[in-house]
Structure 1
Amino acid sequence: MKRAFVLVLAGLSSCATYHSAPLPGMEPVVAPLPATKPLTLTQLAALAVRRDPDLTATRAQAGIAQTELLAAGTPPNPSLSIGFEALLGGPASMSSIAGSLVEDVSPLITRSANVNAAKAHLLQVNAGILWQEWQVAAQAEQLGVTLTGEAADLASLHSDDQALTALEQDVQAQTAAGNLTQQDVSATQIALATLRTALNSEEQAQARDEAQLDALLALSPGTPIALAPIDVAQIPPGLQQQALATLPQRRPDLLALRYGYTEADEKLRAAIRGQFLPISLGAQGGRDTSGVTSAGPQVTLSLPLFNRNRPAIQTDEATRTALRAQYAASLAAARNGAEALGQSITMLQHQSAQADQAAAQAAAIAEDARHSFFAGGLDASAETDLITAAGDRRREAIQLRTQLQTAEVSLATLLGLGLPVHGRATR
């Protein structure tokens, strides 16, 4: 009895104790970006993966899955029961003592399946975290591409604004001198009003995207981020096919689904083994009031006559079937999405090249027209139209180039380029 008491005290001394962890307040905790040159897309993506607040919260899920794995491999504590009855009267000669020590061995029967399921769940959580990191990296790259395109759009709009403003001032002067009519003034003013509406909309879009990037990098709103010129590598068709062939072994969301299927399969195995559970083994003994002592084994088990754990088995079978179908659907969607995006990129490449050529031609025509206008060979309305047309062609080319670069970033994400087989990588 003394030895048992000592063992109980030793066990209690190793128990966990409570420590408070207060929630944070409203005060922002913003770490500034390290002083550096303008960021490339790769550097921007790496910063987002390190600093994104949502990713920080998601990574905590891995700790929960790790404790679930520990729980699956840890047997339950044995149960100790001790009873004492004092002799109060009658022919007996002493008080009675009884005790039993029982261990639930059910977890030992399902331990391998439960541990395998917990391991698969941990791998699933880690793969899910990696896929979210990959998505955040892609989001940062796409924002970098978008902001670069918006900066180019704004530069084009400001250039046209300066050209039309100068033209409008010249038209006003010539109208006052009687060389031009009010119709020429109206045409230039209408073009300027339309341009400045587009300029305001583009500035608002840029502000929204800058705020989104600041939030992604855990920066205060309005923090300026310098971006290097965009350089998105094109993905050759051969590399696309090679990446598609190994997609199930590399893309984290597909790996997460595979691990989820393995977890469901192991849970089904454990449910089948659980038809006879619970099972407890132990020993009991004692001394009655006449001084007779006895001891012996104790076995408790469930007889599979009615329930036979069928509800749990059927639930796990249905879960495994659903996950198998989900994996097949996700695999097909990933393959079809990548192939469709590849075709879209081919089309955008052709359209972008044509738009660049059209923008260059329109700019040359507008430049020649400017000389003709000042020489008196072109009216103000035609000059206004040509300035506007050249600016429109230039911005169409910028927008198509932005769409092409965004599609190439998306394709690299869909194909998991930069991810090793069954491993982690950063862009």
Structure 2
Amino acid sequence: MKHIVIVGGGAGGLELATKLGHHFSFSRFFNRRRKDPQVRVTLVDKNRTHIWKPLLHQVATGALDSSLDALNYQVHARANGFQFELGCLRELNREQQTIELAPVMDSDGQQLVPARELQYDYLVLALGSQSNDFRTPGVREHCVFLDSTEQAHRFHRLLLDRFLQLETHTADKVQIAIVGGGATGVELAAELMDATQQMGYYGQINNGALEVTLIEAGPHLLPALTPRLGNNAERELSKLGVRVITGCAVAEASADGLTTAGGEKIPASIRVWAAGVKAPDFLTQLDGLATNRVNQIEVQTDLQSTSDPHIFAIGDCAGCVDIKEQRVPPRAQAAHQMASVAEHNLIASIDGRPLKQFRYRDHGSLVSLSKHTAVGNLMGTLVKGSLTIEGRIAGLAYRSLYRMHLAAVHGWAKAMLIYLVGQANRFVKPRLKMH
């Protein structure tokens, strides 16, 4: 029996495991589970649950309750014909075709599961990305990142603690500084201003108690989009009360704020770093796999690593130049497209058929400004060139992205049921998670 091991349960890894599990474990015509599948699929992740990464800024502010919206890997695996292993990748042995998982520890530091070794015939690395601090002094020690659900929960606790100080009159304001004017920074700033209004219903906190500063080193916000959209986003954030600083790099972070390259001190009790991404550092030490300057695994246009045909990489951790010789950006839509091509190529590899070459199709970018509005552009077969959209239409298009992710994982019927249940929960429960 062949064994496909997928490490990383983000958007790309989870979609790939689901697709392969269905292909190898269920009858194609009657959707019945096969008694003896010829290929076993295992998904490995260090977390027990999955949250779509573009939603982490909502988890951070409390606009999204991860306990309600999270997908449990173990339950999903049993329902979709693959296996799940809780663990963190520690070592790779390409000659033996094995990976080693680090021990699983409990919250008290006690070992629950010892280190394990998994044998693979094909390995897929889908480990995503993490914030790039560019070795800026003090950032790792004094800033919050939004790379995982745990980090988003940490930010949420800090936010509630600061507002508790306001309610008990032990502080007169909450100052938050966000470094990075990309999608994460812009969306977090907008959600924070909305959260202040929601918290005001509970603790009589007025809008003036929150000072949010968004700092971008480039000339305009949303550098992946056009300057006009970036400027429009800046105008909308300014209306909400966010102080936006562009063309300004951060030189140092400390326990009480940030210092810009120009020497300005920006006081902040909570400091968020959302400027740039890179693949995890340990990928550069995985048994000689070729990586680039941001730690991504170098892959061919068929998504096989340039170092080993038995190892594939998809998503943010893959350094891919596609068949059109364009560098594939670290976006959720790229991970989704890679998952589909990787599914085809893994099946083709097992069957001895030619592999498909990956071509990235940019369908545009959308950035939410909380419930207020959204900005972005659409590209594709229905739109000749690029169509700029803003306002309610852009907001509707943005919300549809998450439903498309749910459909890729669950199918459209179940995805719509999940969406309706989510809407019902938002109607009967407080809009903001206050604990």
**What interval of TM-score do these two structures reach, taking the shorter chain for normalisation?**
under 0.3
TM-score, with structure 1 as normaliser: 0.22
TM-score, with structure 2 as normaliser: 0.22
Structure index of larger Rg: 1
Q: Larger strand proportion, structure 1 or 2? A: 2
